[in-house]
Amino acid sequence: MRVLSFMSCAVLLMGASTVWAYDQIQVTEGGTIVGKVTMVGPKPTPKGFNLITFPDPVYCGRISTGTGWRILHEFTLARDGGLQGAVVLLTDATKGKPFKFEPPTIEARDCRLLPFVIEVKDRSEVNVVNMDPVFHDIQAYETSHLGPRVLFNTPLPMNPHHKHNVGADSHEHLAGQPMKEVIRMTKGRRIFFTQCGFHAYMESWGLVVDNPYYVVTQADGTFSLRDVPPGDYTLAAWHPGVGTMTEKKVTVPAKQMVKADFVFESPKGHRSAHEIEDNPHFGLGALGKSIDIKPTLELQEP
């Protein structure tokens, strides 16, 4: 098993996206790959965003700490360390079952971009819709060891029938006009990232796939890849918050099951400039007026 840094991960993905073509065949003796992705070590320090430094602090503060901070929880862990939201895929599958890809939809809901991890396909669409009664602006990037490149930057309108001056106690969600964008990745890049230009704590990550043998791990960290033609493959696991990709070689026998588990080390130290800290200059009264930010939807814990 190999663990690759972000740079090596990007190189691996570049190779995977440029070398392999995929042929659809009838799979009659396919096998199954099952396993689990876990993370060991202490849970990483989450990113914290001071709400008064961004627009709509009252509405977006419905999910907050109660002290004016919004937390981006990048990791969802089961009690035994099972990691939800990791992408597991075969990077070198050249043939197999039909590849029927449905363009993903990202929702801006409660000042979050959901889901946090998606799969995308080069030259295919991604749909983004605003469910909030506040404006959002979607900035999409591709990224690799070469750095980021902007794919699109588009205002995300809200439904015109939303109530104006919506307070923190409102749970109204009316879908705005969906924004459809075709993802056109630079050759070799496969990491896709979206963020709201108004609310930096709104993030979503995607990984470009080029065959149907991929899956996002469940709440307990488990995964299953079915109907895999017999043969030798490279199986990889990736999560945007970890910063590394783990890969291993697997042999899939005809009509049999093979088990493959992955373990990520918990990221350590300072991971972002956004961390919760007491600062009297950025308290709730820093704007010169009283702001009542109540976590009416979710009281977050660091």
pLDDT, position 10: 44
pLDDT, position 170: 72
pLDDT, position 177: 92
- Strands 63-64 and 245-252 turn out to be unpaired
Instruction: Give Cα 254 distance to the centre of its chain.
Output: 33
Q: Which two tokens stand for residue 162?
A: 């939303």
Question: Which portions of the chain are predicted below pLDDT 50?
Answer: 5-8, 10-19
Which of 232, 229, 204 has its CA nearest to residue 109?
Answer: 204
State how far the Cα of 176 lies from the Cα of 274, in Å rounded to an integer.
30
State how far the Cα of 94 lies from the Cα of 211, in Å rounded to an integer.
8
pLDDT, position 188: 76
Which of 100, 104, 87 has its CA nearest to residue 211?
Answer: 100
Residue type, 160: P
pTM: 0.85
pLDDT, position 67: 87
Tokens 């959901």 locate to 114
pLDDT, position 287: 55
Note the pLDDT tens digit of each residue in 36-89.
Answer: 999 999 888 888 999 988 999 999 999 999 888 999 989 999 999 999 999 999
302 and 46 in contact (C-beta within 8 Å)? yes
pLDDT, position 214: 97
- Strands 31-40 and 262-265 turn out to be parallel
pLDDT, position 280: 55
Distances, alpha carbon 98 to alpha carbons 80, 206, 213, 227, in Å: 35, 21, 10, 10
